[in-house]
Structure 1
Amino acid sequence: MSYYGPVSDARIPPHPDPRDVPLQQVLEALVDPVRRSILTQLAHAADDVKCGGFDLDVSTSTATHHFKVLREAGLIRQYYVGTSRMNSLRGDEVGKAFPGLLDAIVAAESGRRGQRRGTSSATTRSGRSAKRTPSVA
């Protein structure tokens, strides 16, 4: 805290309260498979993830756009640690505004990824099991 009050970081963008975001905007954010992948990776991560730490097949500028859409839809929170922009899933807040939505998305995406990779199951950061079904060949 400085003499003039709390120090704010101008690099930190605004984060809307998920209760103030229209359902239409949230659903539009979830339409894109890259954004669903980001949410799923955050749900399965042990800690918050820096922007460069995601397994995405898009350019840096495209990834930045996807993070912005998710942030403006109230689905993720972004903050800085040094020069790294970190991302966290706003699971509890989104769960209060849209009960079951994120769990359903993560479970569906995890199942889809599991079918492609042939894995069995995983646990999300919320401690819930996200079932992955083995691929049948």
Structure 2
Amino acid sequence: MTTATNPRVLDHPARDDIRLEDVLHALSDAVRLLIVSEMAREEAELSCSHFDLPVTKSTTTHHFRVLRESGVIQQIYRGTTKLNALRRDDLDALFPGLLDGVLEAAAAQSRRLGDPRPAAITS
């Protein structure tokens, strides 16, 4: 993991330090899966405020931290805005097909359950 000396620079695991079990843990939560699904659909850097999540601000912060520390997303500051980007290239290189498979399974589950969101929020 890189060490941030500037408080505006956040720690992220290097590509070679991303572990499958950490990625699977991050994607196992419905809220985090919803965040990742939205990021994959938008294919752009998105601010935290872009997401309409059914949790408190502090819980939202926790979910983004888990995604960042697992290597699923990268967070960077641009001015005062924290932007989030999916680390698709890193994940696809390390675990070919994993992200697409999880996102397709989440979408299929949403269709099966009649949930309009890409990942059903049950928690």
Q: Same fold (TM over 0.5)?
A: yes
Structure 2 Cα separation of the partners of residues 62 and 12 of structure 1: 21
Report how far residue 9 of structure 1 moved.
4.6
- Give runs of aligned pairs for residues 15-34 of structure 1, distance below 5 A: 15-34=12-31
- Which residue is equivalent to 1:110? 107
Structure 2 unmatched runs, 5+: 119-123
Runs of 4+ in 1 over 6 A off after TM superposition: none
Using structure 2 for the length normalisation, give the TM-score: 0.81
Supply the RMSD in Å over aligned alpha carbons. Answer: 2.0
Higher normalized helix content (fraction of residues):
2
Matched residue pairs, number? 112
Question: Equivalent pairs: percent with the same residue?
Answer: 41
Post-superposition Cα deviations, 1:34-61, rounded to whole Å, max 9, x if no partner, equal 1111100000014211001112111111
- Which residue is equivalent to 2:39? 42
Structure 1 unmatched runs, 5+: 1-7, 120-131, 133-137
- Which residue is equivalent to 1:83? 80
Contact 1:18–1:73 (CA<8 Å) still a contact in 2? Answer: no
Residue aligned with 1:79, SS? strand
Range moving further from structure 2, 108-117 or 46-55:
108-117
Using structure 1 for the length normalisation, give the TM-score: 0.73
Structure 1 Cα separation of the partners of residues 42 and 52 of structure 2: 12
Post-superposition Cα deviations, 1:58-88, rounded to whole Å, max 9, x if no partner, equal 1111010000001011000001121111000
1:96 corresponds to which of 90, 93, 96: 93
Higher relative contact order, structure no. (Cα contacts within 8 Å, ≥ 6 residues apart): 2
Structure number, greater radius of gyration: 1
- Which residue is equivalent to 1:5? none
